Structure 1
Amino acid sequence: MGLSAGRGPLRARAAGAVEEMDLPGCDPARLDRTYAQFALVNRAVSGWRGIYRALIRPALSPGSPTSLLDIGCGGGDVPVRLARWAARDGLRLEITAIDPDPRAIRFARERNGAAGVTFRQAPASVLVDENRSYDIVMSNHVLHHLETDGLPAFLADSAALCRGLVLHNDLRRSAAAYALFYAGSWVLRGSYIRQDGLTSIRRSYTARELQSVAPPGWTAARRSPFRNLLILDKRADKRADKRSGGRGDNSAAGG
Protein backbone atom coordinates (compact mmCIF):
# COMPACT_ATOMS: atom_id res chain seq x y z
CA MET A 1 0.00 0.00 0.00
CA GLY A 2 1.43 3.37 -1.02
CA LEU A 3 2.40 5.97 1.52
CA SER A 4 2.64 9.01 -0.72
CA ALA A 5 0.84 12.20 0.20
CA GLY A 6 -1.13 11.78 -3.02
CA ARG A 7 -2.31 8.21 -2.46
CA GLY A 8 -2.66 5.64 0.32
CA PRO A 9 -3.00 6.48 4.03
CA LEU A 10 -1.19 9.84 3.72
CA ARG A 11 -3.39 11.13 0.93
CA ALA A 12 -5.48 13.25 3.31
CA ARG A 13 -4.73 14.83 6.66
CA ALA A 14 -5.57 12.61 9.60
CA ALA A 15 -7.17 15.59 11.33
CA GLY A 16 -8.98 13.38 13.83
CA ALA A 17 -5.92 11.46 15.01
CA VAL A 18 -4.97 12.08 18.64
CA GLU A 19 -1.45 12.44 20.01
CA GLU A 20 -0.98 10.74 23.36
CA MET A 21 1.06 13.56 24.88
CA ASP A 22 -1.90 15.91 24.39
CA LEU A 23 -4.11 13.79 26.63
CA PRO A 24 -4.52 15.21 30.15
CA GLY A 25 -4.01 11.78 31.70
CA CYS A 26 -0.79 10.84 29.93
CA ASP A 27 2.10 9.52 32.02
CA PRO A 28 4.04 12.50 33.48
CA ALA A 29 7.42 10.75 33.44
CA ARG A 30 7.05 9.81 29.77
CA LEU A 31 5.86 13.34 29.03
CA ASP A 32 8.98 14.85 30.63
CA ARG A 33 11.19 12.49 28.61
CA THR A 34 9.26 13.59 25.53
CA TYR A 35 9.99 17.26 26.21
CA ALA A 36 13.65 16.40 26.83
CA GLN A 37 13.95 14.42 23.60
CA PHE A 38 12.24 17.17 21.62
CA ALA A 39 15.45 19.14 22.03
CA LEU A 40 17.30 16.44 20.09
CA VAL A 41 14.63 16.09 17.41
CA ASN A 42 14.28 19.84 16.89
CA ARG A 43 18.03 20.30 16.66
CA ALA A 44 18.18 17.60 13.98
CA VAL A 45 15.22 18.37 11.76
CA SER A 46 13.34 21.56 12.65
CA GLY A 47 15.58 23.87 10.62
CA TRP A 48 15.59 26.78 13.06
CA ARG A 49 19.27 27.54 12.52
CA GLY A 50 18.54 28.36 8.88
CA ILE A 51 15.40 30.31 9.78
CA TYR A 52 17.36 32.30 12.33
CA ARG A 53 20.10 33.16 9.86
CA ALA A 54 17.78 34.05 6.98
CA LEU A 55 14.83 35.74 8.68
CA ILE A 56 15.39 36.47 12.36
CA ARG A 57 19.01 37.62 12.60
CA PRO A 58 18.59 40.34 9.92
CA ALA A 59 15.83 41.88 12.09
CA LEU A 60 18.04 42.07 15.20
CA SER A 61 20.31 44.84 16.44
CA PRO A 62 23.22 45.08 18.88
CA GLY A 63 21.69 48.29 20.22
CA SER A 64 17.92 48.32 20.67
CA PRO A 65 16.27 45.05 21.76
CA THR A 66 13.97 43.07 19.48
CA SER A 67 11.04 41.29 21.12
CA LEU A 68 10.03 37.77 20.12
CA LEU A 69 7.04 35.68 21.19
CA ASP A 70 7.07 31.88 20.89
CA ILE A 71 3.52 30.49 20.96
CA GLY A 72 3.20 26.89 22.15
CA CYS A 73 6.80 26.58 23.32
CA GLY A 74 6.51 23.06 24.79
CA GLY A 75 9.68 22.21 26.68
CA GLY A 76 11.31 25.48 25.65
CA ASP A 77 14.33 24.23 23.70
CA VAL A 78 13.70 26.30 20.55
CA PRO A 79 13.44 29.75 22.20
CA VAL A 80 16.46 28.93 24.35
CA ARG A 81 18.54 28.13 21.27
CA LEU A 82 17.37 31.34 19.56
CA ALA A 83 18.41 33.33 22.64
CA ARG A 84 21.86 31.69 22.64
CA TRP A 85 22.44 32.30 18.94
CA ALA A 86 21.50 35.96 19.26
CA ALA A 87 23.76 36.39 22.30
CA ARG A 88 26.70 34.80 20.47
CA ASP A 89 26.13 37.19 17.58
CA GLY A 90 26.11 40.16 19.95
CA LEU A 91 22.47 40.95 19.17
CA ARG A 92 19.73 41.87 21.62
CA LEU A 93 16.72 39.56 21.60
CA GLU A 94 14.09 39.50 24.34
CA ILE A 95 12.03 36.30 24.22
CA THR A 96 8.71 35.46 25.82
CA ALA A 97 7.65 31.80 25.42
CA ILE A 98 4.08 30.75 26.20
CA ASP A 99 2.18 27.49 26.37
CA PRO A 100 -1.33 26.83 27.72
CA ASP A 101 -0.24 23.48 29.20
CA PRO A 102 1.06 23.86 32.78
CA ARG A 103 3.10 20.67 32.38
CA ALA A 104 5.09 22.19 29.53
CA ILE A 105 5.76 25.45 31.36
CA ARG A 106 6.83 23.61 34.52
CA PHE A 107 9.34 21.58 32.50
CA ALA A 108 10.57 24.62 30.58
CA ARG A 109 11.14 26.66 33.73
CA GLU A 110 12.88 23.83 35.57
CA ARG A 111 15.13 22.94 32.63
CA ASN A 112 15.80 26.42 31.25
CA GLY A 113 15.40 28.76 34.20
CA ALA A 114 18.75 30.50 33.62
CA ALA A 115 18.44 30.81 29.84
CA GLY A 116 17.20 34.41 29.75
CA VAL A 117 13.80 33.44 28.33
CA THR A 118 10.54 34.42 30.05
CA PHE A 119 8.21 31.40 30.23
CA ARG A 120 4.53 31.98 30.87
CA GLN A 121 1.51 29.67 31.03
CA ALA A 122 -1.06 31.30 28.75
CA PRO A 123 -2.77 30.92 25.39
CA ALA A 124 -2.13 33.55 22.76
CA SER A 125 -5.66 34.91 23.16
CA VAL A 126 -4.86 36.11 26.69
CA LEU A 127 -1.93 38.17 25.40
CA VAL A 128 -4.20 39.63 22.71
CA ASP A 129 -6.65 40.70 25.43
CA GLU A 130 -3.71 42.32 27.25
CA ASN A 131 -2.84 44.31 24.10
CA ARG A 132 0.65 42.81 23.93
CA SER A 133 2.77 43.38 20.84
CA TYR A 134 6.03 41.84 19.61
CA ASP A 135 8.44 42.42 16.74
CA ILE A 136 8.53 38.70 15.85
CA VAL A 137 5.94 36.01 16.60
CA MET A 138 6.71 32.35 15.96
CA SER A 139 5.70 28.79 16.68
CA ASN A 140 7.25 25.37 16.19
CA HIS A 141 5.19 22.23 15.51
CA VAL A 142 1.92 23.84 16.58
CA LEU A 143 -0.15 24.11 13.40
CA HIS A 144 -0.72 20.38 12.99
CA HIS A 145 -1.93 20.13 16.61
CA LEU A 146 -4.78 22.56 15.97
CA GLU A 147 -8.29 21.52 15.08
CA THR A 148 -9.24 22.68 11.60
CA ASP A 149 -11.72 25.21 12.95
CA GLY A 150 -9.12 26.46 15.46
CA LEU A 151 -6.49 27.41 12.87
CA PRO A 152 -8.08 30.74 11.78
CA ALA A 153 -8.25 32.00 15.37
CA PHE A 154 -4.66 30.95 16.02
CA LEU A 155 -3.42 32.79 12.93
CA ALA A 156 -5.53 35.84 13.76
CA ASP A 157 -4.11 35.95 17.30
CA SER A 158 -0.52 35.62 16.10
CA ALA A 159 -1.08 38.39 13.55
CA ALA A 160 -2.67 40.64 16.17
CA LEU A 161 0.29 40.12 18.50
CA CYS A 162 2.88 40.97 15.86
CA ARG A 163 4.07 44.30 14.45
CA GLY A 164 6.70 42.73 12.21
CA LEU A 165 7.23 39.12 11.16
CA VAL A 166 5.21 35.98 11.94
CA LEU A 167 6.88 32.59 11.41
CA HIS A 168 5.01 29.33 11.99
CA ASN A 169 7.33 26.37 11.39
CA ASP A 170 5.69 22.96 11.04
CA LEU A 171 5.98 19.48 9.57
CA ARG A 172 5.08 18.82 5.94
CA ARG A 173 3.24 15.59 5.30
CA SER A 174 4.95 13.21 2.90
CA ALA A 175 5.68 9.51 2.48
CA ALA A 176 9.42 10.12 2.78
CA ALA A 177 9.04 12.02 6.05
CA TYR A 178 6.87 9.25 7.49
CA ALA A 179 9.20 6.46 6.36
CA LEU A 180 12.38 8.16 7.57
CA PHE A 181 10.91 9.01 10.96
CA TYR A 182 9.57 5.49 11.32
CA ALA A 183 13.00 4.07 10.56
CA GLY A 184 15.01 6.45 12.74
CA SER A 185 12.82 7.13 15.76
CA TRP A 186 13.13 3.68 17.35
CA VAL A 187 16.08 4.97 19.40
CA LEU A 188 13.85 7.54 21.14
CA ARG A 189 12.61 5.24 23.86
CA GLY A 190 10.66 5.89 27.02
CA SER A 191 8.75 8.85 25.56
CA TYR A 192 5.79 9.61 23.31
CA ILE A 193 7.93 10.86 20.45
CA ARG A 194 7.84 7.80 18.20
CA GLN A 195 4.09 7.18 18.09
CA ASP A 196 3.13 10.84 18.39
CA GLY A 197 5.69 11.86 15.77
CA LEU A 198 4.12 9.51 13.24
CA THR A 199 0.70 10.84 14.18
CA SER A 200 2.00 14.40 13.79
CA ILE A 201 3.15 13.69 10.25
CA ARG A 202 -0.27 12.24 9.41
CA ARG A 203 -1.95 15.33 10.89
CA SER A 204 0.33 17.82 9.14
CA TYR A 205 -0.39 19.78 5.97
CA THR A 206 1.19 19.74 2.56
CA ALA A 207 2.36 23.18 1.47
CA ARG A 208 -0.55 23.48 -0.95
CA GLU A 209 -3.08 22.54 1.73
CA LEU A 210 -1.64 25.01 4.19
CA GLN A 211 -1.68 27.82 1.65
CA SER A 212 -5.30 27.04 0.82
CA VAL A 213 -6.47 27.39 4.44
CA ALA A 214 -4.32 30.41 5.32
CA PRO A 215 -5.89 33.89 5.13
CA PRO A 216 -4.81 36.39 2.48
CA GLY A 217 -1.37 37.83 3.10
CA TRP A 218 0.14 34.60 4.45
CA THR A 219 2.65 32.57 2.43
CA ALA A 220 3.30 28.84 2.89
CA ALA A 221 6.89 28.09 1.88
CA ARG A 222 8.35 24.60 1.52
CA ARG A 223 11.60 24.13 3.41
CA SER A 224 13.96 21.21 3.71
CA PRO A 225 13.72 18.69 5.19
CA PHE A 226 9.95 18.10 5.10
CA ARG A 227 8.96 21.48 6.52
CA ASN A 228 6.36 24.13 5.93
CA LEU A 229 7.06 27.71 7.00
CA LEU A 230 3.93 29.87 7.12
CA ILE A 231 4.95 33.53 6.94
CA LEU A 232 3.18 36.84 7.46
CA ASP A 233 5.38 39.90 6.91
CA LYS A 234 3.57 42.92 8.31
CA ARG A 235 6.61 45.04 7.55
CA ALA A 236 5.72 44.75 3.85
CA ASP A 237 2.35 46.39 4.55
CA LYS A 238 4.09 49.25 6.36
CA ARG A 239 6.54 49.73 3.49
CA ALA A 240 3.70 49.75 0.98
CA ASP A 241 1.80 52.27 3.08
CA LYS A 242 4.85 54.57 3.20
CA ARG A 243 5.23 54.36 -0.57
CA SER A 244 1.57 55.30 -0.99
CA GLY A 245 1.94 58.28 1.30
CA GLY A 246 -0.03 56.75 4.15
CA ARG A 247 -3.14 56.12 2.04
CA GLY A 248 -2.92 52.29 2.28
CA ASP A 249 -5.49 50.07 3.97
CA ASN A 250 -4.27 49.10 7.45
CA SER A 251 -7.30 47.04 8.35
CA ALA A 252 -5.44 43.69 8.58
CA ALA A 253 -5.63 41.85 11.89
CA GLY A 254 -3.37 43.43 14.42
CA GLY A 255 -2.49 46.37 12.19
Structure 2
Amino acid sequence: MVLPSLRVRAHDAVEIMDSPLCDPTMLTRTYQDFRVVNAVVSGWWGIYRRSIRPALSTTTELTLLDVGSGGGDVSRALAGWAVRDGLRLRVTGIDPDARAHVFATSQPKIAGLTFRRALSSDLVAEGEHYDFVVSNHVLHHLSVDELKGLLVDSESLARRRVLHADLERSNFAYLGFAAATWPFFRHSYIRPDGLTSIQRSYTAVELRAAVPVGWTVSRGRPSRLVLGWDAA
Protein backbone atom coordinates (compact mmCIF):
# COMPACT_ATOMS: atom_id res chain seq x y z
CA MET A 1 0.00 0.00 0.00
CA VAL A 2 1.06 3.61 -0.56
CA LEU A 3 1.73 5.55 2.63
CA PRO A 4 0.12 9.00 2.40
CA SER A 5 1.93 12.03 3.72
CA LEU A 6 1.01 12.49 7.37
CA ARG A 7 2.92 15.71 7.96
CA VAL A 8 -0.33 17.72 7.93
CA ARG A 9 -3.80 16.81 9.21
CA ALA A 10 -6.12 15.67 6.43
CA HIS A 11 -8.95 17.63 8.04
CA ASP A 12 -11.01 17.59 4.84
CA ALA A 13 -10.97 13.79 4.51
CA VAL A 14 -14.39 12.18 5.05
CA GLU A 15 -15.05 8.84 6.71
CA ILE A 16 -17.45 6.60 4.80
CA MET A 17 -19.69 5.95 7.80
CA ASP A 18 -20.30 9.68 8.23
CA SER A 19 -22.11 9.81 4.89
CA PRO A 20 -25.92 9.58 5.14
CA LEU A 21 -25.76 7.46 1.98
CA CYS A 22 -23.47 4.75 3.33
CA ASP A 23 -24.68 1.15 3.29
CA PRO A 24 -26.81 0.54 6.42
CA THR A 25 -25.74 -3.10 6.77
CA MET A 26 -22.07 -2.15 6.58
CA LEU A 27 -22.70 0.63 9.09
CA THR A 28 -24.32 -1.76 11.56
CA ARG A 29 -21.37 -4.14 11.23
CA THR A 30 -19.04 -1.20 11.83
CA TYR A 31 -20.79 -0.35 15.10
CA GLN A 32 -20.54 -4.02 16.07
CA ASP A 33 -16.84 -4.16 15.21
CA PHE A 34 -16.04 -1.03 17.23
CA ARG A 35 -16.52 -3.08 20.39
CA VAL A 36 -13.60 -5.30 19.35
CA VAL A 37 -11.35 -2.55 17.99
CA ASN A 38 -11.83 -0.19 20.92
CA ALA A 39 -11.25 -2.99 23.42
CA VAL A 40 -7.83 -3.56 21.82
CA VAL A 41 -6.60 -0.06 21.02
CA SER A 42 -8.60 2.62 22.86
CA GLY A 43 -7.14 2.12 26.34
CA TRP A 44 -10.34 2.88 28.23
CA TRP A 45 -9.84 0.14 30.81
CA GLY A 46 -6.62 1.85 31.88
CA ILE A 47 -8.26 5.29 31.87
CA TYR A 48 -11.15 3.96 33.97
CA ARG A 49 -8.80 2.25 36.42
CA ARG A 50 -6.50 5.28 36.87
CA SER A 51 -8.73 8.30 36.44
CA ILE A 52 -12.36 7.36 37.09
CA ARG A 53 -12.66 4.37 39.43
CA PRO A 54 -10.71 5.92 42.35
CA ALA A 55 -13.41 8.62 42.66
CA LEU A 56 -16.35 6.18 42.60
CA SER A 57 -18.24 4.94 45.62
CA THR A 58 -20.45 2.04 46.63
CA THR A 59 -22.94 4.46 48.19
CA THR A 60 -22.81 7.83 46.39
CA GLU A 61 -23.81 7.89 42.73
CA LEU A 62 -21.58 9.85 40.36
CA THR A 63 -22.40 10.70 36.76
CA LEU A 64 -20.47 10.46 33.49
CA LEU A 65 -21.22 11.90 30.06
CA ASP A 66 -19.80 10.22 26.94
CA VAL A 67 -19.84 12.79 24.12
CA GLY A 68 -20.16 11.43 20.58
CA SER A 69 -20.83 7.94 21.89
CA GLY A 70 -21.59 6.42 18.47
CA GLY A 71 -22.66 2.79 18.79
CA GLY A 72 -22.20 3.05 22.55
CA ASP A 73 -19.44 0.50 23.16
CA VAL A 74 -17.29 2.78 25.36
CA SER A 75 -20.34 3.96 27.33
CA ARG A 76 -21.34 0.34 27.85
CA ALA A 77 -17.85 -0.67 28.90
CA LEU A 78 -17.60 2.10 31.51
CA ALA A 79 -21.06 1.36 32.91
CA GLY A 80 -20.34 -2.37 32.93
CA TRP A 81 -17.01 -2.01 34.76
CA ALA A 82 -18.66 0.10 37.44
CA VAL A 83 -21.42 -2.48 37.90
CA ARG A 84 -18.86 -5.28 38.09
CA ASP A 85 -16.87 -3.33 40.69
CA GLY A 86 -19.98 -2.68 42.78
CA LEU A 87 -19.66 1.09 42.28
CA ARG A 88 -22.40 3.59 41.57
CA LEU A 89 -21.95 5.34 38.22
CA ARG A 90 -24.71 6.67 35.97
CA VAL A 91 -23.50 6.90 32.36
CA THR A 92 -25.16 8.97 29.62
CA GLY A 93 -24.02 8.57 26.02
CA ILE A 94 -24.93 11.32 23.56
CA ASP A 95 -24.66 11.40 19.79
CA PRO A 96 -26.60 13.51 17.26
CA ASP A 97 -26.64 10.73 14.62
CA ALA A 98 -30.01 8.93 14.54
CA ARG A 99 -28.39 5.78 13.15
CA ALA A 100 -25.93 5.58 16.03
CA HIS A 101 -28.72 6.18 18.54
CA VAL A 102 -30.85 3.38 17.07
CA PHE A 103 -27.95 0.94 17.28
CA ALA A 104 -26.89 1.96 20.80
CA THR A 105 -30.40 1.67 22.21
CA SER A 106 -30.96 -1.71 20.53
CA GLN A 107 -28.25 -3.39 22.59
CA PRO A 108 -28.87 -5.25 25.88
CA LYS A 109 -29.59 -3.00 28.84
CA ILE A 110 -26.99 -2.21 31.51
CA ALA A 111 -27.92 -0.70 34.86
CA GLY A 112 -27.26 3.01 35.00
CA LEU A 113 -26.74 3.46 31.23
CA THR A 114 -28.84 5.70 28.99
CA PHE A 115 -28.44 7.22 25.53
CA ARG A 116 -29.69 10.49 24.06
CA ARG A 117 -29.63 12.12 20.65
CA ALA A 118 -27.95 15.39 21.52
CA LEU A 119 -24.90 17.62 21.20
CA SER A 120 -22.81 18.79 24.14
CA SER A 121 -24.07 22.32 23.48
CA ASP A 122 -27.66 21.10 23.94
CA LEU A 123 -26.83 19.87 27.44
CA VAL A 124 -25.06 23.12 28.30
CA ALA A 125 -28.21 25.00 27.25
CA GLU A 126 -30.26 22.69 29.48
CA GLY A 127 -28.03 23.44 32.46
CA GLU A 128 -26.88 19.82 32.84
CA HIS A 129 -23.80 18.82 34.84
CA TYR A 130 -21.83 15.57 35.18
CA ASP A 131 -18.97 14.51 37.41
CA PHE A 132 -17.00 13.21 34.41
CA VAL A 133 -17.13 14.19 30.73
CA VAL A 134 -15.35 11.86 28.31
CA SER A 135 -15.15 11.11 24.60
CA ASN A 136 -13.50 8.54 22.39
CA HIS A 137 -12.31 9.26 18.83
CA VAL A 138 -14.23 12.54 18.60
CA LEU A 139 -11.38 15.07 18.49
CA HIS A 140 -10.12 14.07 15.05
CA HIS A 141 -13.52 14.89 13.57
CA LEU A 142 -13.23 18.51 14.70
CA SER A 143 -11.67 21.62 13.27
CA VAL A 144 -9.63 23.75 15.67
CA ASP A 145 -12.64 26.06 16.20
CA GLU A 146 -14.97 23.10 16.78
CA LEU A 147 -12.44 21.63 19.21
CA LYS A 148 -12.41 24.85 21.21
CA GLY A 149 -16.21 24.79 21.31
CA LEU A 150 -16.19 21.24 22.69
CA LEU A 151 -13.70 22.22 25.37
CA VAL A 152 -15.83 25.20 26.44
CA ASP A 153 -18.84 22.88 26.66
CA SER A 154 -16.81 20.28 28.56
CA GLU A 155 -15.69 22.79 31.17
CA SER A 156 -19.30 23.92 31.63
CA LEU A 157 -20.60 20.36 31.98
CA ALA A 158 -17.92 18.71 34.15
CA ARG A 159 -17.90 18.98 37.94
CA ARG A 160 -14.69 16.99 38.35
CA ARG A 161 -12.77 15.81 35.30
CA VAL A 162 -12.74 15.75 31.49
CA LEU A 163 -10.99 13.01 29.50
CA HIS A 164 -11.08 13.16 25.70
CA ALA A 165 -9.18 10.21 24.19
CA ASP A 166 -8.17 9.94 20.54
CA LEU A 167 -5.64 8.65 18.06
CA GLU A 168 -2.29 10.30 17.40
CA ARG A 169 -1.31 10.72 13.76
CA SER A 170 1.95 8.99 12.83
CA ASN A 171 3.43 6.66 10.23
CA PHE A 172 3.57 3.95 12.91
CA ALA A 173 -0.15 4.31 13.66
CA TYR A 174 -1.11 4.23 9.99
CA LEU A 175 1.06 1.28 8.99
CA GLY A 176 0.32 -0.62 12.20
CA PHE A 177 -3.44 -0.27 11.84
CA ALA A 178 -3.27 -1.15 8.14
CA ALA A 179 -1.30 -4.32 8.85
CA ALA A 180 -3.34 -5.39 11.89
CA THR A 181 -6.70 -5.00 10.17
CA TRP A 182 -5.77 -6.26 6.71
CA PRO A 183 -7.13 -9.82 7.23
CA PHE A 184 -10.21 -8.66 9.16
CA PHE A 185 -13.27 -6.40 9.05
CA ARG A 186 -13.91 -7.00 5.35
CA HIS A 187 -17.65 -6.44 5.80
CA SER A 188 -17.53 -3.15 7.70
CA TYR A 189 -15.98 0.30 7.37
CA ILE A 190 -13.50 -0.27 10.20
CA ARG A 191 -10.36 -0.49 8.06
CA PRO A 192 -10.87 2.33 5.53
CA ASP A 193 -12.42 4.69 8.08
CA GLY A 194 -9.75 3.84 10.65
CA LEU A 195 -7.03 4.83 8.22
CA THR A 196 -8.89 8.04 7.39
CA SER A 197 -9.25 8.74 11.12
CA ILE A 198 -5.50 8.50 11.58
CA GLN A 199 -4.95 10.93 8.71
CA ARG A 200 -7.42 13.35 10.32
CA SER A 201 -6.04 13.05 13.86
CA TYR A 202 -3.84 15.50 15.73
CA THR A 203 -0.27 14.99 16.90
CA ALA A 204 0.52 15.74 20.54
CA VAL A 205 2.31 18.94 19.49
CA GLU A 206 -0.64 20.13 17.40
CA LEU A 207 -3.16 19.36 20.11
CA ARG A 208 -1.15 21.14 22.82
CA ALA A 209 -0.94 24.20 20.57
CA ALA A 210 -4.71 24.16 19.96
CA VAL A 211 -6.02 23.91 23.53
CA PRO A 212 -6.29 26.64 26.18
CA VAL A 213 -4.35 26.92 29.41
CA GLY A 214 -5.43 24.36 32.00
CA TRP A 215 -5.75 21.46 29.56
CA THR A 216 -3.12 18.72 29.44
CA VAL A 217 -2.19 16.31 26.65
CA SER A 218 -0.75 12.93 27.59
CA ARG A 219 0.45 10.20 25.27
CA GLY A 220 -0.35 6.51 25.50
CA ARG A 221 0.13 3.36 23.50
CA PRO A 222 -0.54 2.45 20.80
CA SER A 223 -0.47 5.98 19.30
CA ARG A 224 -2.99 7.43 21.74
CA LEU A 225 -3.63 10.90 23.12
CA VAL A 226 -5.69 11.86 26.16
CA LEU A 227 -6.75 15.49 26.50
CA GLY A 228 -7.57 16.18 30.14
CA TRP A 229 -8.91 18.91 32.39
CA ASP A 230 -9.69 18.96 36.11
CA ALA A 231 -12.17 21.30 37.74
CA ALA A 232 -10.70 23.58 40.39
TM range (shorter): over 0.9
Aligned to 1:206: 203
Bigger radius of gyration, 1 or 2?
1
Aligned counterparts of 1:50 and 1:113: Cα–Cα separation in 2 = 24
Is the Cα contact below 8 Å between 2:80 and 2:110 reproduced in 1? Answer: no
Q: 1:233 to 1:114 in 2, by over 3 A?
A: closer
Say yes or no: does 1:229 pair with 2:226: yes
Q: Distance in 2 between matches of 1:180 and 1:188?
A: 15
* TM-aligned CA deviation for residue 25 of structure 1: 1.3
From 212, 215, 228, give the equivalent of 2:212: 215
Q: Distance in 1 between matches of 2:164 and 2:84?
A: 24
TM-score by length of 2: 0.96
Q: In 2, distance between residues paired with 1:159 and 1:18?
A: 28
Task: Please give the residue correspondences for 1:19-168 in structure 2 after superposition, counting only pairs within 5 Å.
Answer: 19-114=15-110, 116-168=112-164
SS in 1 for 2:218: strand
| One-letter amino acid matched to 2:177 | F
Write the distance in 2 (CA, Å) between the matches of 1:62 and 1:111: 26
2:73 corresponds to which letter in structure 1?
A: D
| Alignment partners' CA distance in 2, 1:178 and 1:207 | 16
Give 3-state SS (helix, strand or coil) of 2:5's partner. Answer: helix
2:140 match: secondary structure = helix
Preserved contact between residue 15 and residue 148 of structure 1 (Cα < 8 Å) = no
Q: CA deviation at 1:164?
A: 0.6
State the structure with bigger RCO (CA 8 A, min sep 6), 1 or 2: 2
Q: How far did residue 44 of structure 1 move? A: 0.4
User: Contact 1:188 / 1:194 at 8 angstroms: preserved in 2?
Assistant: yes
Aligned length: 231
Instruction: Show the counterpart of 1:243.
Output: none
Structure 1 residues 225-246: Cα deviation after superposition (integer angstroms, max 9, x where no partner): 1100000011xx2xxxxxxxxx
RMSD over aligned CA atoms reads: 1.5
Question: What is the alpha-carbon distance in structure 2 between the residues aligned to residue 111 and residue 123 of structure 1?
Answer: 21
Distance 2:174 2:111 in 1: 33
Q: Is the 8 A contact 1:99 1:120 kept in 2?
A: yes
SS of 1:10's partner is: coil
Q: Distance in 1 between matches of 2:34 and 2:206?
A: 26
Point out 4+ residue stretches in structure 1 off by more than 2 angstroms.
112-116
Q: Percent identity?
A: 57
Distance 1:65 1:116 in 2: 10
Hey, what does 1:240 align to over in structure 2?
none
Looking at structure 2, the residues matched to 80 and 94 of structure 1 have their Cα atoms a distance apart, in angstroms, of 11
Pick which of 141-150 and 209-218 moved more. 141-150
